[in-house]
Amino acid sequence: MPVTKVLIANRGEIACRVIRTCREMGIPTVAVYSDADRGALHVRMADEAYPIGPAPARESYLVVEKILAVAKQSGADAIHPGYGFLSENAEAARLFTEHGITFIGPRPDSIVQMGSKTAAREVAMAAGCPVVPGIQKTMEEAELLVEAQKMGFPVMLKAAMGGGGKGMRLVTKPEEFTSSLARARGEALSSFGDDSVYVEKAIIQPRHIEIQVFGDTHGNHVYLWERECSVQRRHQKVIEEAPSPHVTPEMRKAMGEAALKVAKAVNYVGAGTVEFLADADRNFYFLEMNTRLQVEHPVTEWITGLDLVKWQILVARGEQLPLTQDEIALNGWAMECRIYAEDPDKNFMPSPGKITFLRTPAGPNVRDDGGVYEGSEVPMFYDPMISKLSTWGPTRLEAIDKMRMALGEYRIGGIRHNVEFHKVLMEHEPFRSGDLNTGMLDKPFWKKKEVGPNLQSAVAAAMLHELDSEERRAAQPAGSGEGHPDAWKHWGKFNRL
C-alpha cells in the first residue's frame, strides 16, 4: 500500500506532530485548514495547504468529501486522521480506501465493532477479557431502573456510542435515576446523534489505566505497556503518565494480554488503546477501545523510545511491526500535562484569543508538542489545547520534578491558561505519592486562598512594582534582551498565596 504523500485530516498540535514524523521519513505532507485556521502552525509547517471551508468543524474538518477532494487535487495517496474529527469514522475510512487512498488507521469493520460501547463489551466478554458488570441491551426507563436496583446502587449511565465523558452520569440512589437518565440521553443525542444509554455497576474511586496496542496486516500484535489517566475533570483526562504507579509486573502482563485478546478478536491493525478501570485490589475491567492514536501517546514514546506515528505509517504500508513483544523496552517514567487556554478559577471556562507572548520549556527530557506560536490565535471553534507538555525521568518523582521545572519556564500572554493549575497538581501530596483516582479533582484544592485586607494591600503594591519594572524593561532598546513583557507571570506568582 503506497504512502508517499500524506494528507493530515486534522489541525493543531496533532497535525504538527504527524508532519514532523513524515518529514523525518522523507514523506511530503498536505495540510487542510478552515477559515479560522488560515494562519495556523500546521498550515505553515506542511509542504502544501488547502482551504476546506468555514470555521465550524461540521462545515470543514468533518466533511469527508472535502478531505477526499483535496487528497485527489494534491496527489496525496494516504490520509492520517490524527485523533478526533474523522479518526473513528468508519464510513470515511471506507470511502478513502474505495478511492485508492490509504487510511492510516484500523480497518473500517474494526472501527464499527469498537465504536459502540455495548458491542465492544460483547466482543471483550467473548474474548475472555474481564468487564464491569452491567446491562448491555437497550431498555425503556422503567426496565432500566428495575435492573439497576437489582445490580445495586451506585451505577453509571453511559452513552452506547459515547466517548470523551459525554453522556455519562453517576447515579448514587434510585431517586436520581430518572433525571440522570434524561440528561445522559439528551447529551448522548446532541453529541453522537444516538440517545442509546446502558448501565454499568459503578466502581467507587476507580483508577483509569489503558494499554497501548499495535497490530499489523500480517497478524502480529503487541502491547506497549500501560498509561495511567486517572487525573480527570468531568471524565476528561488532565494528566497522563507511563507506566502506572498502581500496576505491578504481574498486573501489567495480565492487562496487556487481556488487551491483546480484544485487539485480536477484531483483527486490529495500527495503533489502538484498550482502556480499563481498576480498583484498589488491582482487579481490572474493560471499559472501551479507542481505535486511533491517543492524545497521550508521547508518554508511551518516552518509556519505549519508539515513534508511534512512524509505526502507524509502516503498518499502513503493509510492513510488519518493527519489534516483537520481548523486544519492547520499558525505561523510566514519563509525565504529560495538557496545557489549555482556559481559566481554572472560572470553572475552566475556555479562553480563546490571540497569544501575545509565548515561551515554551526546553532542555533535556522535556518535550512540548504544540500547535500555536506567538501571535497566533486560539479559535473559539475547537478544543482549546495549546500544547501537550511531557517530561521523562528515571523514576516517577524525578519525572514529576522535571515537570515542575518545565511548568515554571512556561510563559503565555494574552489568554488565560492552566499552567499554574498543573504546577499546584505537581506539588499535591496525594498525586506525588501515586494515590490517584478519577475523582481526585472533585474538590478544587488548586483555587486561590482567601487573603486578608493587609496582605491584599501588600500583594497589590508588589504587583504594581513588578509591572512598573516590566514596563521599564519593555522600553529597553531592541536587542537588549528585556523587551518581552509577560504580565501573566505575575498572576502565577500571586496565585500561589
292 is catalytic: yes
Contacts of 7 (CB under 8 A, 6+ apart): 29, 30, 31, 32, 67, 70, 71, 74, 76, 78, 79, 80
The 10 Å Cβ neighbour count of residue 43 is 18
d(CA 52, CA 87): 17
Which residues lie across from 370 on neighbouring strands? 387
Region of 356 on the Ramachandran plot (φ > 0 left; ψ -120 to 50 alpha; else beta):
alpha
Q: Which of 292, 338, 367, 416 is catalytic?
A: 292
Specify which residues 263 forms β-bridges with: none
Q: Which amino acid is at 97?
A: T
Q: Grid cell 453517576 — which residue?
A: 170
d(CA 405, CA 366): 10
Asked if 493 and 419 count as a contact pair (C-beta separation under 8 A), the reply is no
- Complete edge-to-edge strand list for the sheet that includes strand 197-201: 134-135, 197-201, 155-159, 169-171
How far is Cα 229 from Cα 276, in angstroms, rounded to an integer?
10
Query: Which residues have CB under 8 Å from 217's CB, separation 6+?
Result: 269, 315, 318
Q: Which positions are annotated as active-site residues?
A: 292
